[in-house]
Structure formats: C-alpha cells, structure tokens
A and B are shown apart, each in its own frame.
Chain A
Amino acid sequence: MIPITIVAGYLGAGKTTFINKVLAETKSPLGVLVNDFGDLAIDHDLIQNDDGLTYSLNNGCVCCKLNDDTGAALESIKNKDISGVLLEASGVAIPIKVANYGLSWPGFSLNGILSLVDGQSVESLLDDKYVKTTVRDQLVQADRIVLNRHKKNIPKRLLELNSDIYTDREIQNYPEFIQDSFLSEKRIDDFQENHYAFKTSSLVSKESINKDKLKDFLSTNPHIHRAKGWIRDQQHQSWLVQMNKGGCKFIPCSYQTQNRMIFISTESINFQSQLINRFT
C-alpha cells in the first residue's frame, strides 16, 4: 500500500512551497499529484520533482467522474518505485472528499490530511463572504495544520478549530514530518460519522503549570482523545504539549506568556473549576 498524504489549504497557503521542501530533502522518491481544477496548470511547473513522478490534474467535469484525472494518475503511478504520494488539493477542495482516494483506491492508503494555513490571511478568510465554510472545513478536517507566515501568537480562532498546529519554524525535517501516518483518532471517527460525540474544551491561564501533574491528568483521563497547546511550568520553562492515543509529548519551546491548550474529549472539561488546581 502506497501512503497518500493530502496537502490541502486555501489559495496562497504555501502548499507548493511545502511540497518542494519535502522533495528537496527526501531520500526516497515521491509521487506528486497537483490538482489544478479551476486554476490553470501553474503549480505543476513550480513543483521540483524527478521526471515522470508529477501529475497535473484537471477534473474537468463538474457532475460526473468520467474523466477522473486523479484516479488515472494513481493507476499510472501505482507501479512506479515510490515511497508515497503527495496529493496537492485545489485551493477550494474539501479535504475529506480528496482523502477518500487514500481510503478507497486499491493499492493506496491514507497517510493523513495536512492543511496549510497562511497566518496573515486566515482570520479574514474565516470571515470571508464566499469561502468561510470552505476554509473552516479545511481546518477542521485536517489531521495536522502547518501554519506559515504568522507573527506572535497563534490566532485563538484557529486553535479552537484545530489544535494540531505546527508552525513552519517547528518543522526540522520535512520528509520526516510526514513519514509516519498521522491519521488522527478524530479523523477515523469522522469517517465513522461520530464526530458529533466529541467536545472541544480550551484552557487559557496565566498561572504556571506542573508539567508532571498535567501529564498524569492527560494519561489517566479516559475521556480525552487529544490535547495540544503551550504551557509554562514553575521553572519558567515553556513547553509545546502534544497528546494523542499514542502518548503524550512535551517539547521545549520559546517563552510563552500564558498557557493555551485545547482538549478533544467525549465529555466537556470545565477548567474554571477546581480541576485546574490539579496541575498548577
């Protein structure tokens, strides 16, 4: 099975740049599918890849799949010596629909949905008359978000929609970043149409946090499926916290003035109550 990584995100979010960074650093060949429908085949020329491994897609018919370029490209790339496929979705693609190729197409698997976000424009796009729901879907449906060109803090609205955010500065090695499947629990549940069962809670506070207590809380609370955010401990060290079914990680990060965390759980967590004292 060849893993497909979906690279989604609105126009100008940095999808092509991201793909080129992966291609520049990768040791094993990757197939690249560039979806240009509605645009012209600009992106294909900007992708720097080995000959014959980049396909430009143009899903011409709006109401049938008779000329499905994606399927044709997957069939054609199937027998080539590649370790994975990067599928660049169009700027208006709904990620889950594109991800169905990874789930359905014989010979392929879904590695995960990555949505790229331009920090400068995301907030105005979330209010845009035409594309607010499209951009929202692109954020909510992603397993991981890569945030480009942002200043200071990560916009709170972005955090509330999806907390699995990596800034471009946090990515050390691009091929490694997408090497292992990052398909989230939430994603699998989405496909089982259970996503209404999940609640999102957030914690924003100024008190320093006891990292070990927080870790303990996260690993013992059965309702919490994922958590992500930034905290500052009693020694004034700041940490990037990432928790999913696979475990809980604390990565040292630049100084944070406050704690900001998002929790995806089957029950709401009320951090305003005494609960917060458990790890402060």
Chain B
Amino acid sequence: MSETIDHLITVYKAKSIITMNPSLPRAEVVAVRNGYILETGTLESLQPWLSRHEYVIDNRFEDFIISPGLIDPHLHPSMAAVILPMHFITAMEWKMPWGVIPATTSKSEFDDRLKESMVNPTHGELFITWGHHDLWHGPISRSRLNAINSDLPIIVWNRSFHELCMNDGALEYLDIKESDVKTSSQIDFVKGRFYEMGLAYAIQKLNPYILAPEVFQEGLTKLKQVVHFGGQTTIADMAVGLFDFETEVQSQMTLYDNEETPFRVELVAQSAALSGAKTTTEAEAIIAKLPERNSHRLKFRKRVKLFTDGAFFSQVAQLLDPGYIDGHKGEWLSTPEQFEEATRVYWNKGYTIHVHVTGDLGLELAVDVLEKMQFERPRFNHGFTVEHFGFSTPEQVHKLAKLGANISANAYYLHELSNIYANDSVGFERASSMARIGTSFREGITTTLHSDFTMAPAQPLMSMWVAVNRINEKGKVMGEEECITPQQGLEAITINAARVLGLDHEIGSIRAGKKADFTVLAEDPLEINPIDIKDIRIEATVFEGKVFDIKSS
C-alpha cells in the first residue's frame, strides 16, 4: 500500500495461479510487496528475489486457485443502495453475503414469508419487500395484504420495479386518500396498486423513506459486502448522477474510501446529469475537473457516459426492421442529433466514451456516429465502448471491430429474458442471439461482461457462466454459436474488463509490476465442467496485497 511502506515480501502459494498473462499463463506462487506483484512463477524461479530480500510464505491458499481480481465494469451503486435495504421475497434464489435468500415459489409461501418478516420494518416504520411476481406469487391486492395485517404499513414492490401494492396501513401512513386519486389514473385504489405514472406518484410519497440518507448509506454498505462476496476487486459506477450527483459521490467517498474496502471504484459521470451545465461543452469542462476529487480508491478519469435508446428490460430498445412482434416501438433517450453532438465534444477532447445501447437501431446510431467521428478526426485506441449490447447484427459487430470499439455486454439478458423474448417480443432468431458475444470475440473486439447490478447479480462468475453456456432460465441453450470458451469468459471478467476501463497496465492479470488484486477460488474455472462455473465458491479476495476473507454463510 502506498500509505505504509512494508519491505517484507509475502509469497502466496496456490494449487494453481491463473495469471491471464499469455506469456506465462500458469504459476504456483506469487510474490507481493507493498501491494504490488514482484513476480509470479515457482519458488525456484523466484529465488533471485527471495535470496536477496526478507520474505514470508503464506500457505493459506495452497488448496485454492488464484485468479486476477475479478472486475465488474458496469454497475450502479446508487440503484443498489435503494434496493438492498428492502426485504427480498423472490422466486429466484439470491446468494447474499448475509445468507442465501431461498426461492419463494407459491402464493401461500409468499404470504407466510411476508407474515414472518413484516414485523421488522425496513424503512423507519415502513416495511418494504421487493420481488413479488404474479406468475409465482399470485395477484397482489390491498385486501390480500390487509388479511395478513392491515395496521402495519406494508408495501410490496414488484420484481420488475414497475408496480407496487400498499395495504391500508401504508396508505394511511403515507396519507394517500381515495379522494386524491383519480379514477382515470394508473392507480387502482381499491386494490392498492400503483403502476406507471401512478407508481411515480407513490414513489414521490415514498422518496423521503427510500432515499433517506441513513437508508441510502445502509444500502451502500450492503453493496460493499455484495461486491466483495462476488469476488470483485474493481467495479465501475457507470453513470454517476443517476439520482443526485453530489450525494452519490460524497456518500461513496465517505463509505468506500477506507482501508476496510476491498475494491476500487471507477467513477464515470453521466454527461446529461451535471447540473449547472447548459451545454455539452460546459458539462465537459466540469467532467475535466472531476479527477481533482480523486482519492486512493475512487477515481474519475477522462471518460464519460452517454445514452442512445431505451431500457432493455422494459422493451423500449430501438429496433431495426422488423421490430417487435406486437408492433410497438422503442424509444430514444435523446435525439440522435444531440447524441452525435455530445459524442463529438467528448471525442474531440480525447475522452473514452461509454454508450448505453440496447437495441440494434440504437447500435446502428452508435456505429454511424462513431464512423463519422473517425472520418472527421481519426483516433486510435479511443476505447469507445458499447454498453449492454442487447440486440445487434453480425454486420454491426464487424463494423465495430473496424472502427476500434470495445463491447461491454450484459450476458444475463440472455439467461433471464431470451425465453420470454423469443415467445412474446422479437421471436427466436433475434432472442437467441442477444448478447452476440461469440461473434464479438471472433471479430477480435475487446469484450467484457457486466452485471449492471441490480439488473443481474453482481457476480462476474455468473456473467461468465451465461456467456460460456448460454443457458436461459428454462434450461435451454440459446444461440450455441455465440458461446465463448471458459478462457475467453475469464478474459472478459479480468484483463478485458481492465482494458475497457483503461486500467490494463495496472490490473486484470497477474504479472510483475501490477497491483496485487486476486480472487481466491475453490475450483479452477478453466478446468471445471463449464456448467458449474457459477457455483464456484469464492474463498477470499486480495486487494492491493491485503487479504479479505469471505465468510461462508
């Protein structure tokens, strides 16, 4: 660590070390001093160091595999901070640092869980649960909740986040009266259900509780555990300013910039979220100064987040013909002209630009604008990155390669949505090729995987598992040709993620001179049956030479 100079060398022995350095892919030991790697190899090969300097051998990982510290290059701490304080009752099992949340798959089970848990309010006096889904847990209503308890304020938030239901206690607590609510509105007062604009109204009433500073901090603290539990030593907040720029920066600085935090956070500002900026040029001037606020663990760099089309989960990605089966249309998040102009400002100033892109028409825009930028002012190694990479065409991926772009894919889309999107949204051909990662690797594009947590679990091994196996929630393989090898999968969540964040000279592989960031695994992800990759137990992480154990729960 830079703070305290320690001349002692620590030599970690492992069953095997996966270095992700192609020149020396495997090793037995790695020597660390002052948070940096001196050398990796065998005890014999390290003798020139060890014969001249004091060292200790640390055997605690001798039965385990050491890989480079895992990297999630795109998640949203502020979103997570809102959701994590809620009580999870969901149809899928969630492995959390504080315990496994078992799957709740029936109506009666849901009601039982609610009964047990509602006595412990989550937000002041309010009890908020997240994860209800009609298909598993039956339709929710005010009367159903009242039958469980009508006095305590209970709020049941839908898994999709697009709807919630309140009991009498909650309506009274939040002072929502029938006389205030219109019949034409997206609020079903009788059933206590709030959706779309009705949901926005309910959230307005709930914001003092869910965005309360102490709740937000509790959420960020929980996220710290989640990130560690997932084996990550580097994450990127890929849109600072989602809720409130200053609050997000300050609370992360307060909670994460200390010796107890086992990871670093790369902060990427969302250009459009900077208050006080009237033009992109003014926003750029603000972003240019953000690195002045950098601390040891939290850093802004010369990078920016822009957006093209709507959310993938909400089916408002912009699609090329033939579009959605039901004929509905996607949405733009800004006009193509505005996107192009913002890109030009940052491109010409030499920024790395990360673009939220979900649909293939959205990608078409990103590709066209990048092509235009390359024509106007060519740049090499510019790092322009397509974030999410939902729908695409092989031809677009080819063009991205020619234009020098990177891809950061949310592979979990394929796992969770490909079955339902094949049947109800875009048909099998396009649903099975969402997250076209195999093509991306074949084109030689630097490709990484992200969770976009809470859109997917913050577990890089889970993302790797999906990209390697392409198995959807029904257990069916979708788009076999787009599967990648375990080697490529591990590259995606280590060295490639580091490249996409512009940190490959410091992290992402285990070699002399890099930071000593490791993830300690119970099994070898390159040797194990690929179907078991997601279940590999993570024993510990090492961040800049310091060991952080993961307590098994």
Which residues of A are at the interface with B, using a C-beta cutoff of 8 A?
10-11, 36-42, 45, 58, 60-68, 70-72, 75, 90-92, 94, 100-101, 103-107, 128-131, 133-134, 137, 191
Contact = CB atoms under 8 A, between A and B. Distances in A.
Contacts of A131: 332, 335-336
Interface string B363-377: 011000000000000
A36 B280 CA distance: 13
Given A40-B274, A104-B186, 10 more contacts: A11-B337, A37-B272, A38-B333, A60-B273, A66-B79, A66-B210, A66-B211, A75-B204, A92-B331, A103-B184
A58 B273 contact: yes
Interface in B187-218: 187, 196-201, 203-204, 207, 210-211
A11 B340 CA distance: 13
Nearest to A44: B278
A101 B181 contact: no
B161 A104 contact: no
B277 interface: yes
A104 B196 contact: yes
Contacts of B51: none
B333 A130 contact: no
B43 interface: no
A133 B307 CA distance: 19
12 contacts: A36-B272, A39-B338, A60-B273, A71-B197, A71-B201, A91-B338, A94-B329, A103-B182, A103-B185, A104-B196, A107-B180, A130-B365
B310 A37 contact: no
The main secondary structure of chain A at its interface with chain B is loop
Given A104-B185, A107-B180, A68 B334 contact: no
B349 to A, nearest CB: 16
B334 A65 contact: no
A104 B331 contact: no
B77 interface: no
A79 B114 CA distance: 38
Contact of B334 (A39, A60, A101): A39
Interface centre among B162, B185, B280, B314 (most CB of A within 10 A): B185
Given A66-B203, A71-B203, A104 B198 contact: yes
Contacts of B79: 61, 64, 66
Interface in B274-330: 274-275, 277-280, 282-283, 307, 310-311, 313-314, 318, 329
Given A38-B333, A91-B338, A92-B331, A62 B279 contact: no
Contact of B329 (A40, A75, A133): A133
A93 to B, nearest CB: 8
A-B pairs, 3 with minimum CB distance: A38-B334, A104-B185, A104-B197
